[in-house]
Amino acid sequence: MKYVQINARSYDWAYSIMFARHRELTQSGHESWVFWARGAHEQDDHMVKIAAIPEVCLDALETRLDGKPGFHSQGITRRLLHQLNQIDPDVVHMYSLLGYYINVEMLFAWLLQHRCKVIWTLHDCWAITGHCIHFHDAGCGQWEDGCGFTAPCPIQDAYPETFRKGMEKWNYEQKKRIFTSLPADRMTLVVPSEWLKRYVDRSFLSKYETIVVPHVADSTVFKPTQSGFREAHKVGDRFMVLGVASKWAERKGLPIFLKLADILDRDKYVVVLVGLRRGQLREARGRVVGLPRINDQRELAKIYSAADVLVNPSTEETFGMNVAEAIACGTRAIVMRGSACAEVADNLIETIPDARAIAREIEKLRIERDSSCSDASIQPGTSA
C-alpha cells in the first residue's frame, strides 16, 4: 500500500499523530509519505516540507485581500500534485487544509481524477462553514443552510482574518461544491469527538461516512516525568494551575486564566501558561508564570507532570489534546461541561466557563492534595 498524509504543519498534534502514523505504516511494510507546509522536522525522500515561508506569507496576504482562504498557493499545490503523480498513492489522508499552503480546488480535482481512497481528518469546523473555524460560542447556525445567505457572518473578524468582508456566501458555495465532488464511497471523514461529529452530520458533508477516532497521547513521551520545573520557576509547594495552547486567544480561555490569577491566593497558587506570544507575555507578567510555545514534547511532559491540575476553559475544542497529554502524565484536568474535552477520559472534573466556578474546583483539589500529603506524613505507630 502507498499511503500519503498531507497537513498544514509538522508541530503540535501532528508530531504525535501524523508522524506516528507514518512510522507505523513504514514498520508494517507499507510505503508512506508525509507532506507539510509549516514547521521544522527532519526531511528525507518520504517526509517533505512542500512550502517556503515567503510562499505561505504570500497566501496569507492574498487571503487578507480577497477573503478566499484555500484558493491560492497554486505553485505549492502544483509541486505537491507532481509528487502525488509520481507516487500514485492508494490512500491520501488529509488533515488541516486551512493554513495558507494549498489550493483546495486543484487538490480535489486531482483526487477526483485518480483512483485513491481519501481520508479527511477534521480538526475544526472550517470545512463546513463559509468563513470561521468555530461557531459554537457565537451561537451561529448559518452553516447548516448556507453562510451569508440570510445574514452577514457574525464573526467576520475571526481567523482566517481578511480585510474583505462579506465573502462567506461565495466561500460556502465553493467549498460545498468542491468538498462534495468525490463519490460517497471514496472519501471517509474522521473526527476526534462525538461533539464534532454532531455538527458534521448536519452539514453538507453528511453524505460521507464520519467515524470518531479520539486522539491518543504518545505514551512513550507523555508519562509522569521528573524535572526541576517547579524549582526553576519558583513554584515551590504552591498549587500549580496549568494552561497550554499553541496559540492563545479569547476562545481558548486566556481571559479566564488571567481572572483566575487575580482570584487565587498567590501564596497558595500559581498559574502557569504555556504558548503565550510576546505581547501576551508582557500583559501577563507578574500575574502568571508565562512561557512561549514549546514544541519539544518531552519538555511539555515535564511541565504537565509538575502541575497539580490542567485547566481547559474552552467550549469549542474539537478534542483537547492537552487534556489527554496531561492525564497521561498523571495530572488531573478541569474541562467545560458539554465540551469535546469532556469525552477525553473519565478522570475529569467538569464545570462551566466561569473563573469563579473554576476557582472553586481548584480550591477543592488543593485541599484534597494537602490532606493527602498530611496523611502520607503520618507514619505507622504515630498519631496526627
Judgement on whether residues 152 and 244 belong to the same structural domain of the protein: no
pLDDT at 374 (0 to 100):
66
- Alpha carbon distance 51, 75 (integer Å): 9
Over the chain, what is the mean pLDDT? 93
Judgement on whether residues 152 and 248 belong to the same structural domain of the protein: no
Judgement on whether residues 195 and 307 belong to the same structural domain of the protein: no
Q: Is the pLDDT of residue 381 over 80?
A: no
Q: What is the pLDDT of residues 190-233, one digit of tens each?
A: 999 999 999 999 999 999 999 999 988 888 999 999 999 999 99
* DSSP-derived 3-state class of residue 372: helix
Sheet (strand 2-9) strand order? 47-49, 31-38, 2-9, 91-94, 117-121, 187-191, 209-212
* First CA to last CA distance, the chain: 65
Judgement on whether residues 271 and 315 belong to the same structural domain of the protein: yes
Q: What is the pLDDT of residues 161-200, one digit of tens each?
A: 999 999 999 999 999 999 999 999 999 999 999 999 999 9
Residue type, 41: H
In this prediction, what percent of the chain has a pLDDT beyond 90? 84
Whether residue 238 contacts residue 269, with contact meaning beta carbons closer than 8 Å, is answered with yes
Judgement on whether residues 92 and 233 belong to the same structural domain of the protein: no
Specify the number of domains making up the chain: 2
Whether residue 229 contacts residue 235, with contact meaning beta carbons closer than 8 Å, is answered with yes
A 10 A CB-CB count for 52 gives 12
pLDDT at 142 (0 to 100):
95
Whether residue 307 is contained in a domain is answered as yes
pLDDT at 384 (0 to 100):
36
* CA 343 to centroid of chain Cα atoms: 15
Say which CATH number the domain at 146 has.
Answer: 3.40.50
Q: What is the dihedral of CA 12, 18, 21, 23, to 10 degrees?
A: -80
Residue type, 55: E
- Alpha carbon distance 106, 81 (integer Å): 9
Give the confidence band of 375 by pLDDT, cuts at 50, 70, 90: low
Average pLDDT over residues 51-71: 97
Q: What is the pLDDT of residues 273-329, one digit of tens each?
A: 999 999 998 888 889 999 999 988 899 999 999 999 999 999 999 999 999 999 999
- Alpha carbon distance 93, 326 (integer Å): 27
Q: Is the pLDDT of residue 246 over 80?
A: yes
pLDDT at 378 (0 to 100):
52
Judgement on whether residues 139 and 189 belong to the same structural domain of the protein: yes
Q: Is the pLDDT of residue 364 over 60?
A: yes
pLDDT at 330 (0 to 100):
95
Judgement on whether residues 235 and 194 belong to the same structural domain of the protein: no
Whether residue 167 is contained in a domain is answered as yes
Judgement on whether residues 41 and 117 belong to the same structural domain of the protein: yes
Whether residue 279 is contained in a domain is answered as yes
Judgement on whether residues 29 and 174 belong to the same structural domain of the protein: yes
Of 180, 212, 244, which residue constitutes the final position of a domain?
A: 212
**Range of the structural domain that residue 354 is part of:** 229-377
Q: Is the pLDDT of residue 11 over 90?
A: no
Whether residue 221 is contained in a domain is answered as no
Q: Is the pLDDT of residue 241 over 50?
A: yes
Around 365, how many Cα atoms within 13 Å sit in the side-chain half-sphere? 24
Average pLDDT over residues 352-357: 94
**Verdict on whether the full-model pTM lies above 0.95:** no
Q: Is the pLDDT of residue 20 over 70?
A: yes
Judgement on whether residues 191 and 293 belong to the same structural domain of the protein: no
In this prediction, what percent of the chain has a pLDDT beyond 70? 97
pLDDT at 217 (0 to 100):
87
| Nearest Cα to Cα of residue 119 among 7, 204, 224, 37 | 7
Say which CATH number the domain at 354 has.
Answer: 3.40.50.2000
Judgement on whether residues 287 and 194 belong to the same structural domain of the protein: no
- Alpha carbon distance 312, 333 (integer Å): 8
Give the confidence band of 377 by pLDDT, cuts at 50, 70, 90: low
